[in-house]
Amino acid sequence: MAAQTRGVALRLCTLGFLLGVAFCKGFVEDLDESFKDGRKDDIWLVDFYAPWCGHCKKLEPVWNEVGVEMKSIGSPVKVGKMDATSYSSIASEFGVRGYPTIKLLKGDLAYNYRGPRTKDDIIEFAHRVSGALIRPLPSQQMFEHVQRRHRVFFVYIGGESPLKEKYIDAASELIVYTYFFSASEDVVPEYVTLREMPAVLVFKDGTHFVYDEYEDGDLSSWISRERFQSYLTVDGFLLKACGYCSY
């Protein structure tokens, strides 16, 4: 039934876009000055836009589809948009410097979205950032599920330690880009051999690599380097993330 509802909603949204009828705008809330004080108990995905901005106008139908999908799957994330020129003080408080700016707001935290402006990529970002910072993997079955679903992800193995604290700090900074998990040693595949515990691993490209503080340096910097697959289709967003261009 949920899938049927989602399909009908998305078809209406697409039809509305083609005919110029706003069937799907009801799934995106127009935000005003009351948003600042009323949002504390909710998680919000917000598009800060300017009415005259061409990129904002191009994003609008995609954003409406995001609202439809998040509503239809029962996501706890609310989808909204704010005219940052009309409510410039609020936009400035959230660190909006250009248009459109997409942010996920969770409690006192604000996460910037810098990926491709597609429905699927934006929703993936919302799911990742709105969930737990570090997600436990309680079983081998769950680990295998994560391997099938994610092309790159990081895992902390072990108990409380200074390394875990560094891992949490890194996850707080980099959750906008990748997934962070924790597991016990008996959950990871048998082919994974650890020389010492605790440990941080990255799984990607059909293999894995173990973080070595002496060889790899700062943990956050290592994660920033390893969060990319070895072979990727290069586009403007990837180049910007790698620091090769600015625009």
CB 92 within 8 A of CB 82: no
Instruction: Mark whether 233 and 114 lie in a shared domain.
Output: no
Asked, for residue 141, whether it belongs to a domain, the answer is yes
> Is 11 among the domain residues?
yes
Q: Are residues 88 and 159 in the same domain?
A: no
Question: What domain count does the chain have?
Answer: 2
- Whether 247 is covered by a domain: the verdict is no
**Residues 36/93, Cβ–Cβ less than 8 Å:** yes
> Which residue, among 193, 198, 202, 192, has the nearest Cα to 226 in the 3D structure?
202
Same domain, 121 and 141: no
36 in the same domain as 111: yes
**Does 7 share its domain with 119?**
yes
pLDDT at res. 15: 47
Residues 23 and 39 in one domain: yes
Using an 8 Å Cβ cutoff, are 44 and 104 in contact?
yes
Task: Specify whether 107 is located in the same domain as 161.
Answer: no
Q: Kindly state whether residue 102 falls inside one of the protein's structural domains.
A: yes
pLDDT for res 245: 37
> What is the pLDDT at residue 241?
52
10 and 113 part of one domain: yes
> What is the reported pLDDT for 69?
94
Domain that holds residue 173: 135-242
174/234 same-domain check: yes
Which CATH number fits the domain that encloses residue 226?
3.40.30.10
Last residue of some domain: 114, 130, 146? 130
Residue 112 lies in a domain: yes
Nearest to 213 by CA among 205, 223, 204: 223
Q: Which pair of tokens denotes residue 174? A: 């980099």
Note whether 55 and 38 are same-domain residues: yes
Does residue 163 fall inside a structural domain?
Answer: yes
Residues 50 and 8 in one domain: yes
**Residue at 32 is within a domain:** yes
Both 114 and 165 in one domain: the answer is no
The active-site residue out of 13, 24, 53, 245 is: 53
Choose one of 130, 152, 170: the last residue of a domain. 130
Question: pTM for the whole thing?
Answer: 0.78
Could you tell me the end-to-end alpha-carbon distance of the chain, in angstroms, rounded to an integer?
44
Per-residue pLDDT of the chain (247 residues; tens, 9 = 90+): 444 544 544 455 544 443 343 445 668 999 998 888 777 789 999 999 999 999 999 999 999 999 999 999 899 999 999 999 999 999 999 999 999 999 999 988 899 998 999 999 999 999 999 999 999 999 999 999 999 999 999 999 999 999 999 999 999 999 999 999 999 999 998 899 899 999 999 999 989 999 999 999 999 999 999 999 875 555 555 555 555 433 3
Does residue 190 lie in a domain region? Answer: yes
Query: Annotated catalytic, 24?
Result: no
Last residue of a domain, one of 77, 111, 130: 130
pLDDT at 230: 75
